[in-house]
Chain A
């Protein structure tokens, strides 16, 4: 393996731990997170039009606390009016 292209193992360890710790701390498996995401999108879609493919929902760490962060772009309704 080329020394210069090898991804160093510490970086790998840190990335893997970041994921594992978030799931350990929230007691939420990746599958449960997907289900939560689907439910959330269904609920929001009842009220406003969203683009499901542009939605980003994930768990983020902030020191020792976790937060669920959702970025949900809305489909513009002004476009129709302006038409």
Chain B
């Protein structure tokens, strides 16, 4: 078995890419999968703190590329899940230290010994983004239900199409069911209609996400969190399981609308 390479991207910053990577990777590791996360945001390293691994970094991805260490030496083992690793970004370099072919080579080296490689893309549509999608088998586009995030997500989806990376699906993050109910927030149905790509998950707004990153313990480890449940469901879908979408705030109208749109029942 060779690993599936999944890149998480968004166009706009601050929509929850890094949170999504940390949570999906942890959820996959909880399911017994061998996971390697790669922080693709060279110069703005973040995935390490969200995962609680910042004190363990010795080498980073640029050290691997420039031959200062072996790939294994830059792989930081998770505290809780021994089959999960992080390859951190370099903090004092810029994105030009990495090329798309470097990313492809690193992913190819990792593939034989992992099940999932999850790449955290930087915001934007430039070099760092190009590096992040170079090796991707599947791209997850994260957006929030607001005009700026949806517009940027559409740009990203357009670029992915022109690069023939058509295997992309949408994570709608930070949806507030009460605002949607009052018609003061774009609904999942609205966003799907606008963007025209398949949905892989809706993550409700949840204060436990911030609490989790404060502690360096992704929210999926919190069994009671709604956002955690949503990320665990996405992780199951990435493994090919057919998991029904959550009933957000018991709004049957929204729920059935989503089911209609995605053809799930």
Contacts and interface: CB of A to CB of B under 8 A. Distances in A.
* A is bound by B: yes
A14 B194 contact: yes
B210 interface: no
Main secondary structure of the interface of A (DSSP, over half): helix
Given A18-B194, A64-B161, A64-B196, A13 B186 contact: yes
A80 interface: no
A9 B147 CA distance: 11
A10 B194 contact: no
Contacts of A9: 183-185
A19 B198 CA distance: 21
A83 interface: no
Nearest to B151: A20
Interface string B181-213: 011111100100011110000000000000000
Given A10-B185, A17-B194, A24 B180 contact: no
25 contacts: A8-B182, A9-B183, A9-B184, A9-B185, A10-B179, A10-B183, A10-B186, A10-B187, A10-B190, A11-B183, A13-B146, A13-B186, A13-B190, A14-B190, A14-B194, A17-B186, A20-B147, A20-B151, A21-B151, A21-B154, A24-B154, A25-B154, A61-B196, A64-B195, A64-B196
A13 B187 CA distance: 11
Interface of B: 146-147, 150-151, 154-155, 157-158, 161, 179-180, 182-187, 190, 194-197
B154 A16 contact: no
Nearest to B158: A25
Closest A-B pairs by Cβ, 7 of them: A8-B183, A64-B196, A63-B196, A10-B183, A14-B190, A9-B184, A21-B154
Contact of A64 (B157, B179, B187): B157
A17 B191 CA distance: 10
B197 A64 contact: yes
Interface residues of A, number: 16
Contacts of B154: 21, 24-25
A24 B146 contact: no
A15 B184 CA distance: 13
Contacts of B161: 64
A10 B161 CA distance: 28
